[in-house]
Amino acid sequence: MRSRTAESAIAEEQSFLDTALDRRDRLAGHLSTELEEAAEDALDHSRRRMLKRQYDELRRARDGLVFGRLDGLDGTVRHIGRIGLRDQREDADPLVLDWRAPASRPFYTATPLDPQGQARRRHIRTSGSVVTGVDDEPLDEKSDGSLVGEGALLAALGERRTGRMSTAISTLQREQDDIVRAGATGPLIVQGGPGTGKTVVALHRVAYLLFTHRHMAERAVLVLGPSPRFLDYIAQVLPALGETAVVSATCDTLLPGVTVARGEDRRISEIKGRAMWQQTLERYVGSLLPQPRNLELRWEGDAYVIPAGTVAQALASATQGRAYHQARAAFAAQLHHLLADAVAEQRESLLESMEEGFEDILARFSGPDSPAGPSASDVDGLLSEDELEDLRERIATHPTIARFLASIWPVRDPAVTVRSLLHDQDLLHRYAPELTDDEKALVAAEPGAWAPSDIPLLDAVAELLGEESPQLQGEFMADRARSRRDWVYGHVVIDEAQELSEMQWQMVLRRCPSRSITAVGDIDQAEASHRHTSWAQAVQATLGDRWTPAELTICYRTPREVMELTGPVLAKAGSHNAPPRAVRSSGITPWEHTVAADELVGTAAQAVRELQERWAGGTVGVVAPVARAEELRAALGGVPVLTATEAKGLEWDATLVIDPTGIAAEPRGWNGLYVALTRCTQELGQLHLV
Which residue positions form the known binding site for ATP?
192-199
Residues 6+ apart with CB under 8 A from 591: 684, 685, 686
Contact predicate 452/251, CB 8 Å: yes
Contact predicate 332/311, CB 8 Å: no
Pairing relation of β-strands 295-299 and 97-98?
Answer: unpaired
- Which helix (H) or strand (E) segment is 223 a member of? strand 221-224
Pairing relation of β-strands 517-521 and 246-249?
Answer: unpaired
Task: Write the CA distances from 196 to 22, 233, 266, 556, integer angstroms.
Answer: 37, 17, 29, 6
Task: Tell me the one-letter amino acid at 273.
Answer: G
Taking the C-alpha atoms of residue 514 and residue 512, their distance in angstroms, rounded to an integer, is: 5
Which segments within 390-429 are labelled E, that is strand? none
Task: Write the CA distances from 551 to 103, 201, 225, 277, 580, integer angstroms.
Answer: 25, 11, 19, 31, 10
DSSP 324-372: HHHHHHHHHHHHHHHHHHHHHHHHHHHHHHHHTT-HHHHHTTTSTTSTT
Contact predicate 525/671, CB 8 Å: yes
Taking the C-alpha atoms of residue 577 and residue 560, their distance in angstroms, rounded to an integer, is: 17
Taking the C-alpha atoms of residue 334 and residue 662, their distance in angstroms, rounded to an integer, is: 65
Query: Three-class SS of residue 307?
Result: coil
Taking the C-alpha atoms of residue 252 and residue 457, their distance in angstroms, rounded to an integer, is: 12
1-39: b (≥16 Cβ within 10 Å) or e = eeeeeeeebbeebbebbebbbebbeebbeebeebbeebe
Taking the C-alpha atoms of residue 413 and residue 417, their distance in angstroms, rounded to an integer, is: 6
Residues 6+ apart with CB under 8 A from 81: 20, 61, 64, 65, 66, 67, 68, 96, 97, 98, 99
Pairing relation of β-strands 295-299 and 302-306?
Answer: antiparallel
Residue 252 DSSP code? G
Pairing relation of β-strands 221-224 and 491-495?
Answer: parallel
Query: Three-class SS of residue 459?
Result: helix
Binding residue positions: 192-199
Contact predicate 9/125, CB 8 Å: no
Task: Write the CA distances from 162 to 203, 225, 233, 452, 615, integer angstroms.
Answer: 18, 20, 10, 30, 11
Question: Residue 468's CB: how many other CB atoms inside 10 A?
Answer: 13
Q: How far apart are the first and last CA of the chain?
A: 51
